Amino acid sequence: MLTVYSDSHRLQHGQSELIDGTLKPCFETPSRADMVLAAIRERELGDIIHPRRHGLDPILRVHDADYARFLETAWQRWSDMGRDYDALPKMWQVRRLREAIPDHVEGQLCYYSMDCGTPITAGTWAAATAAADTALTGADRLIGGERAAFALTRPPGHHAAFDYCGGYCFLNNAAIAAQALRDHGMRKVAVLDVDYHHGNGTQDIFYRRSDVLFLSIHGDPRTEYPFFLGFADEKGEGEGLGYNFNFPLPAGSCVSTWFVALDCALDQIARFGAEALVVSLGVDTYRGDPISRFQLDSPDFVTLGARLAGLKLPTLFCLEGGYAVGPIGTNVVNVLAGFEARG
Ligand SMILES: NCCCNCCCCCC(O)(O)C(F)(F)F
Ligand SMILES: [Zn+2]
């Protein structure tokens, strides 16, 4: 299987995130991508290519232009205030506060952020656009007739919505790729999110549409991040009603429960008649993950890949989460190798 990879991911290296009430070193580190790349090479999964630049247009097919401009300019405006440390918001526009977009970068940082764990740094825009190009280059290969590709995307994307960042995500790589597949003639595209955390951003982007089916298996938002989206009763709106499926599972759920949810999701994808599949591949469902609470073990990721191959669809994998850095490479490549072995 082809891998698309850009070393520009290294430009996103936040120092700290506010997690569980205290500032801690970021969990989303460059070493995550290094370990995945090493495993890809070690397991001889296939060729590794660099992304082609696609410019802003494919990004603006799913993201708000003002939001994109904020991401592009935020660091310069922040450092012009004499701040040489990561940019993080200090409050949120909650209920009954004005939904006006502030002019100042500090206010815009609050307006365009979902949480305080997604630091904007000098290299964020370059890294995020390179990740989008990585996913788009993978989508190009599917459009060209390849059966599957792996976009080794970092920073991840599935929490990034039409006009806000969060959960270590700035641009929604999987959504950008799904839209590109639609724009290049695939009539129906499914996005399956198997990361531990609900893909609120991807849901947000496609919620009112029936041409892109979104499905997510994740920790129950009653107790798990992102808390405020990902409930089973969110089924889409308007045109999109019936084209959104959430499978929230209680923290601590066993592996068999997880695979029952997966089989339900795969069944919906088959009923939908998808012509292509984009997988938001987070491996923080791993039993040893430091910030997540599911029980999958490394061999289960082989099974996951094989189940996905059973759909017999052109498939683009986009890396999302996974914070047990030692085993992340094994777990990611197990999915891809399991997919390939099923043939
Ligand atoms: N007590 C745990 C607090 C968790 N705080 C933030 C979690 C972010 C998860 C990010 C991710 O894994 O979903 C992505 F794929 F986007 F990287
Ligand atoms: Zn996650």
Does ligand 1 have an atom closer than 6 angstroms to the CB of 157? no
**Does the N-terminal peptide bond of residue 226 adopt cis geometry, omega within 30 degrees of 0?**
yes
Which helix (H) or strand (E) covers residue 128, if one does?
Answer: helix 124-143
**Residues 109, 74: contact at Cβ < 8 Å?**
yes
Nearest protein Cα to ligand 1, atom 17? 321
CA distance linking residue 329 with residue 293, whole number of Å: 19
Cα R_g (the chain), whole angstroms: 18
Q: Which residues contact 60 (CB under 8 A, 6 or more apart)?
A: 68
Does ligand 1 have an atom closer than 6 angstroms to the CB of 195? yes
CA of 195 to the centre of ligand 2 (A): 5
Q: What's the confidence (pLDDT) of residue 140?
A: 98
The angle, 0 to 180 degrees and rounded to 10, between the axes of the packed helices 298-309 and 325-342 is 30
Q: What's the confidence (pLDDT) of residue 281?
A: 99
Nearest protein Cα to ligand 1, atom 8? 167
Q: Which of 26, 28, 114, 165 to mutate to test the pocket of ligand 1 (most atoms within 8 A of CB)?
A: 28
Q: What's the confidence (pLDDT) of residue 19?
A: 86
Nearest protein Cα to ligand 1, atom 11? 321
CA distance linking residue 153 with residue 60, whole number of Å: 18
CA distance linking residue 300 with residue 335, whole number of Å: 8
Nearest protein Cα to ligand 1, atom 2? 291
Q: What's the confidence (pLDDT) of residue 112?
A: 98
Q: What's the confidence (pLDDT) of residue 260?
A: 98
Q: What's the confidence (pLDDT) of residue 60?
A: 99
CA distance linking residue 30 with residue 263, whole number of Å: 33
Note the ipTM here.
Answer: 0.98
What does the DSSP assignment read for 162-182? TTBBBTTBSS-HHHHHHHHHH
**Residues 331, 294: contact at Cβ < 8 Å?**
no
Nearest protein Cα to ligand 1, atom 10? 167
> Which atom of ligand 1 is closest in space to residue 158's alpha carbon?
16
Strands of 315-319's sheet, edge to edge? Answer: 48-49, 2-4, 148-151, 315-319, 276-281, 189-193, 212-219, 244-249
CA distance linking residue 197 with residue 306, whole number of Å: 22
Q: Which of 36, 169, 291, 323 to mutate to test the pocket of ligand 1 (most atoms within 8 A of CB)?
A: 291
Residues whose beta carbons lie less than 5 angstroms from ion ligand 2:
195-197, 282, 284, 321
CA distance linking residue 218 with residue 250, whole number of Å: 9
CA of 14 to the centre of ligand 1 (A): 14
CA of 282 to the centre of ligand 2 (A): 6
Q: What's the confidence (pLDDT) of residue 20?
A: 85
CA of 82 to the centre of ligand 2 (A): 33
32 alpha carbon, closest ligand: 1
**Does the N-terminal peptide bond of residue 155 adopt cis geometry, omega within 30 degrees of 0?**
yes
> Which atom of ligand 1 is closest in space to residue 282's alpha carbon?
15
Nearest protein Cα to ligand 1, atom 6? 167
Which top CATH class is 7-342? alpha beta
Which residue ranges in the chain fall short of pLDDT 50? Answer: none
> Which atom of ligand 1 is closest in space to residue 167's alpha carbon?
8
And the tokens for 285?
């469902």
Q: Which residues contact 195 (CB under 8 A, 6 or more apart)?
A: 156, 158, 216, 218, 280, 281, 282, 284, 285, 320, 321
**Residues 17, 166: contact at Cβ < 8 Å?**
no
pLDDT tens per residue across span 128-180: 999 999 999 999 999 999 999 999 999 999 999 999 999 999 999 999 999 99
> Which atom of ligand 1 is closest in space to residue 292's alpha carbon?
2
Does ligand 1 have an atom closer than 6 angstroms to the CB of 117? yes
The dihedral through the CA atoms of 150, 155, 156, 160 has a sign that is negative
